[in-house]
Amino acid sequence: MKRINLLDITTSNKIAAGEVVEKPSSVVKELVENAIDSGAKNITIEISDGGKKLIRIIDDGSGIHPDDIKKAFLPHSTSKIKSIEDISKINTMGFRGEALASIASVSKVTLKSRITGYDYGRKISIYGGKLNKIEDTACNLGTTVEVEDLFFNVPARQKFLKSSSRETAYVSDIILRLSLANTDISFRLFSNGKKSINTFGTGHLIDTIRCLYGKNIYENITPIEKHSDIASVSGYIGNSEISRGSRNNQSIFVNKRYIKDKSITAAVERAFKSFLTINKFPFFIIFLDIFPEFIDVNVHPSKLEIKFTDSRMIFKFIFDAVHESLRESLKDSFTIDTEYDSEKAKIREELVQLPIDLKPAEDALDKIENYKNVTKVKEQPIHAYRESNKGLDYSYNKIDEIPEEVSKEDRELSRENSETVKEPKFPKLRIIGQFNNTYIIGEALNTLFLIDQHAAHEKILFEKYKNEIKNSNVISQLLISPIVIELKNYDYSCYIENKDVFKNTGFNIDIFGDNTISIREVPIILGKPNIKNLFIDILDNLKNMGSGETWEVKYYHIATMACKAAIKAHDKLSQIEMEDLIEKLRYIEDPFNCPHGRPTIIKFTTTDLEKKFKRIQ
Ligand code: ADP
Ligand code: MG
């Protein structure tokens, strides 16, 4: 064994920094939390290159006494507690007194601060843990901290930093969560000089939500609130419109601190499940306030977990709160909804079993045999549908100009399709007609089928597009004139991060410079929707997903949104068009639900009808 050394303070700080300071966003978190603790009402955060180059936090809080300014950078120096007993009644974000020391040991920090009663402030700069300069300076009330060249003296850590856009997204996430937890503070985040977050500190969570998430989410959420002797829960939950393929839009705060907790998440999702068949993750922002005795606060600062002394009680409390709010918000339509839901589930179950487990009336048995024999046919190639259908084309939407390559690709696709024998998922229907330009009515085997033509059309497009993406075979159409969009800073970095996702889904986009892009080609399946809106919606969706989402989930979302945009409502369909649509529907992977999970087909057996007409009991 070598002899034991006591590490000098700079080295030990540098090691400790690894725990608190992992990346730019962790620096931002510590510094903004300090600003919040100082009682600031306005906090501005500026970063360049995702914070790798510069992080600047400006607050209008109480400031630091000029004689304490050097002390603030010593390890274990804090104004927030005096002894261990204080920890249990702490109401500040920090108390360990390690952040400033740690940050200053791995970057170049300049801090200036002025408190009331003084005409001037004091400024200190510390580079790599060594005091560089300390002097009096003119400055505003409050504190400004600048952190430059993070990890300049720890190259091994610098190497692990992600791309600037990714680090920007992390910073943005931190500010989003801090703004939600501190609605009385106005936050502004600038990335490379461009504003990406701006909340107004009105003190109302709903205002902050609107600023952060936009109108669509704002319009689709309901409040929750419940109190007990030891805890209170409040916040907002979103309806199925805004549920997502990832848990990114879920935030839990315990005593104003953002945490991750599986049991609370499960409690909310379970409450939703008892109402709606949502197969995606619901939006929620939950605040749990609980007496500190019931939690262990002394968990590691960089860990987002928390321990409850009675987590089953917390689970039930949250479950009840969400459940009650859902019941309240569905009050009027409740009975109908549940009836409809159970009915929907039943219908779906029956349909999924078709055609293997068909249970029609006795006299239809020979027809089934017939049906089983005739339906195992080769799927017709796509061009056959196109030829037979002069009005509406369900394989592609009508567009003005189809580039030449399409017909070639189309042929290849047809060949591919005609080689695969596919099973129909439901019997061939005799089309009776169209109701209200919306529903197609058909019959087969003593069963009446109602098909939502738009949902069906959407699903057909969706499966086709999804397969094209899967096979890297997306066909694009050239726009007559490219669509030029100037993006907000954060949107732009989100686009850059997802450039390949757009490319692989058939969007051909050029960068125009200065946060401006030009869309030249879009997937042909889109037809002619409002491409700008669609693009922005897709970006919003990607943004809300955060950066950790898989490509598959992103593709799924893009396909869902694109196909929704491609569908027009209320088309009068000819007999041939209806037959064509239903034929295509029979052969897709899952014809029974639209991409949003609603049913596309509902059916009534003769028995169902006879019951309704009270011919039988
Ligand atoms: P902690 O927040 O755990 O106390 P820090 O190292 O983050 O430790 O900060 C050390 C001390 O510096 C704080 O206790 C506080 O007194 C002072 N301080 C840091 N940032 C600010 C700020 N923005 N405004 C006022 N005081 C600050
Ligand atoms: Mg702190």
| CATH classification of the domain holding 153 | 3.30.565.10
Q: Which residues contact 233 (CB under 8 A, 6 or more apart)?
A: 224, 225, 226, 227, 286, 287, 288, 289, 317, 318, 321
Indicate whether 209 belongs to any domain. no
Indicate whether 31 belongs to any domain. yes
Report CA(95)–ligand 2 centroid distance (Å).
Answer: 6
Same domain, 559 and 428: yes
Report CA(80)–ligand 1 centroid distance (Å).
Answer: 8
CB 281 within 8 A of CB 244: yes
| Protein residues whose CB sits closer than 6 Å to any atom of ligand 1 | 30, 34-35, 38, 59, 61-64, 72, 77-80, 94-101, 143
Q: What's the confidence (pLDDT) of residue 465? A: 85
Q: What would the DSSP string read from start to end of 182-246? A: -TTSEEEEEETTEEEEE----S-HHHHHHHHH-HHHHTTEEEEEEE-SSEEEEEEEE-GGG-BSS
Q: What's the confidence (pLDDT) of residue 361? A: 33
Q: What's the confidence (pLDDT) of residue 363? A: 32
Indicate whether 202 belongs to any domain. no
Same domain, 468 and 584: yes
Same domain, 310 and 368: no
pTM of the model: 0.58
Indicate whether 604 belongs to any domain. yes
Number of structural domains the chain divides into: 4
Q: Which band of pLDDT confidence, cut at 50, 70 and 90, is reported for residue 5? A: low
Same domain, 253 and 110: no
| Backbone Cα Rg of the chain | 30
**Region label for 399, one of left (φ > 0), alpha (ψ between -120 and 50) or beta (otherwise):** beta
Same domain, 150 and 251: no
Q: Tell me which ligand sits closest to the C-alpha of residue 40.
A: 1
Query: Pocket of ligand 1, candidates 28, 29, 100: which has the most ligand atoms within 8 Å of its Cβ, to mutate?
Result: 100
| Percentage of the chain lying above the pLDDT 90 cut | 35
If you average pLDDT over residues 478-488, what whole number do you get?
83
What would the pLDDT profile of 486-534 be if each residue is shown by its tens digit?
Answer: 888 778 888 888 888 898 888 899 888 778 889 888 888 777 667 888 8
Q: What's the confidence (pLDDT) of residue 418? A: 42
Same domain, 517 and 411: yes
Report CA(298)–ligand 1 centroid distance (Å).
Answer: 18
What would the pLDDT profile of 276-322 be if each residue is shown by its tens digit?
Answer: 555 678 999 999 998 877 887 555 555 677 888 888 899 999 999 99
If you average pLDDT over residues 350-370, what whole number do you get?
34
Q: Which of 196-210, 356-370, 600-614 has the highest mean pLDDT?
A: 196-210
Query: Pocket of ligand 1, candidates 21, 29, 32, 34: which has the most ligand atoms within 8 Å of its Cβ, to mutate?
Result: 34
**Region label for 467, one of left (φ > 0), alpha (ψ between -120 and 50) or beta (otherwise):** alpha
DSSP-based helix, strand, coil % in the chain, nearest 5: 45, 25, 35
pLDDT surpassing 90 at residue 456: no
Lowest-confidence region among 82-96, 420-434, 536-550: 82-96
Same domain, 448 and 551: yes
pLDDT surpassing 80 at residue 485: yes
| Residue 145 Cα: closest atom of ligand 1 | 23
Residue ranges making up the domain that contains 490: 381-617
Query: Pocket of ligand 1, candidates 57, 65, 78: which has the most ligand atoms within 8 Å of its Cβ, to mutate?
Result: 78
Query: Of residues 77 and 422, which shows the higher confidence score?
Result: 77
Same domain, 83 and 144: yes
Q: Which helix (H) or strand (E) element contains residue 127?
A: strand 121-127
Q: What's the confidence (pLDDT) of residue 347? A: 38
Same domain, 279 and 404: no
Q: Tell me which ligand sits closest to the C-alpha of residue 95.
A: 1
If you average pLDDT over residues 338-354, what whole number do you get?
41
Q: CATH number of the domain at 286, please.
A: 3.30.230.10
Report CA(99)–ligand 2 centroid distance (Å).
Answer: 5
Indicate whether 198 belongs to any domain. no
pLDDT surpassing 60 at residue 413: no
Same domain, 167 and 265: no
Indicate whether 206 belongs to any domain. no
Q: What's the confidence (pLDDT) of residue 86? A: 67
Same domain, 290 and 357: no
Q: Which of 194-208, 502-516, 529-543 has the highest mean pLDDT?
A: 194-208
pLDDT surpassing 90 at residue 264: yes
Report CA(177)–ligand 2 centroid distance (Å).
Answer: 17
Q: What's the confidence (pLDDT) of residue 351? A: 37
Indicate whether 365 belongs to any domain. yes
Q: Tell me which ligand sits closest to the C-alpha of residue 79.
A: 1
Q: Tell me which ligand sits closest to the C-alpha of residue 141.
A: 1
Query: Pocket of ligand 1, candidates 28, 32, 37: which has the most ligand atoms within 8 Å of its Cβ, to mutate?
Result: 37
Same domain, 181 and 277: no
What would the pLDDT profile of 560-582 be if each residue is shown by its tens digit?
Answer: 887 777 666 567 778 888 888 89
| Residue 97 Cα: closest atom of ligand 1 | 8
Q: What's the confidence (pLDDT) of residue 298? A: 58
Q: Tell me which ligand sits closest to the C-alpha of residue 121.
A: 1
Indicate whether 2 belongs to any domain. no
If you average pLDDT over residues 75-104, what whole number do you get?
76
Q: CATH number of the domain at 562, please.
A: 3.30.1540.20
Report CA(8)–ligand 1 centroid distance (Å).
Answer: 23
Query: Of residues 265 and 478, which shows the higher confidence score?
Result: 265
Q: What's the confidence (pLDDT) of residue 421? A: 54
If you average pLDDT over residues 199-223, what whole number do you get?
93
